[in-house]
């Protein structure tokens, strides 16, 4: 059964799976090998995962604000004022944090990291036309680029179509980035070896970070 949060985010159930990456990536999965060998992570790796966790949490926060609905949401406030400046600022922040997180994931290895990096890149790729209409384009490496003038000139309706409560983009970004933060946190917890403070093994802990419940 799919995890309920995955259902709310509308994550596809027939796409690439974590198992595909685990089966194909064990030979060069440096992090997993170190964890299972009770070697822990080096200071350099620790720093990389700390940056990744922070970047993922920041992206999640912005995505949640954009996807929120109700009278206190950013959208209702903008509809009352008619000024889209706050929305475009949040959109710029979203792109900035998305790029920062994607870049940070190049510095960490392992099957789980590759799975989540691919999942993150897939999200804007599914909305290229709508994003292009408001001045956001996707480059070959998966990063996003903004045409500032086109974004500022986008209508409220166009912005809401891409980032609002009825769009799957922001809810899915929130979901995936929260999983990336969890995975980075799990690796940081393993600094002391392959056994966690709660007594569980690394393998049992990592099993929680799939899109399957």
Total domain count, the chain: 1
pLDDT at 108: 85
pLDDT at 64: 94
pLDDT at 195: 41
Q: How far apart are CA 9 and CA 122, in angstroms?
A: 14
Q: Of residues 100 and 46, which shows the higher confidence score?
A: 100
| Half-sphere exposure for 2 (CA within 13 Å, toward CB) | 13
- Whether residue 143 contacts residue 26, with contact meaning beta carbons closer than 8 Å, is answered with no
Q: How far apart are CA 52 and CA 58, in angstroms?
A: 10
Q: How far apart are CA 187 and CA 53, in angstroms?
A: 10
The answer on pLDDT for 125 being more than 60 is: yes
The per-residue pLDDT for range 169-185, each reduced to its tens digit, is 999 999 999 999 999 99
Q: How far apart are CA 75 and CA 68, in angstroms?
A: 8
The per-residue pLDDT for range 64-93, each reduced to its tens digit, is 999 998 888 999 989 999 999 999 999 999
Q: What global pTM score does this model have? A: 0.76
pLDDT bucket at 14, cuts 50 / 70 / 90: very low
Range of the structural domain that residue 21 is part of: 4-209
């Amino acid at each position: 059964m799919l995890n309920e949060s995955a259902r709310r985010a509308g994550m596809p159930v027939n796409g690439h799976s974590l198992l595909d990456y685990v089966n194909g990536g064990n030979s060069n999965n440096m992090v997993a090998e170190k964890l299972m060998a009770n070697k822990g992570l080096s200071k350099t790796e620790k720093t990389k995962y700390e940056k990744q966790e922070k970047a993922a949490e920041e992206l999640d926060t912005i995505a949640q604000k954009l996807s929120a609905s109700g009278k206190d949401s950013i959208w209702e406030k903008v509809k009352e004022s008619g000024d889209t400046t706050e929305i475009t600022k949040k959109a710029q922040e979203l792109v900035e944090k998305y790029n920062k997180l994607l870049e940070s994931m190049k510095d960490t290895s392992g099957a789980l990291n590759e799975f989540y990096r691919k999942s993150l890149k897939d999200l804007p790729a599914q909305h290229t036309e709508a994003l292009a209409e408001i001045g956001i384009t996707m480059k070959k490496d998966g990063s996003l680029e903004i045409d500032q003038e086109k974004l500022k000139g986008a209508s409220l309706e166009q912005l809401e179509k891409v980032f609002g409560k009825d769009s799957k983009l922001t809810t899915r970004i929130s979901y995936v980035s929260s999983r990336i933060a969890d995975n980075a946190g799990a690796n940081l917890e393993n600094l002391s070896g392959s056994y966690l403070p709660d007594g569980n093994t690394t393998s049992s802990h990592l099993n929680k970070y799939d899109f399957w419940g």
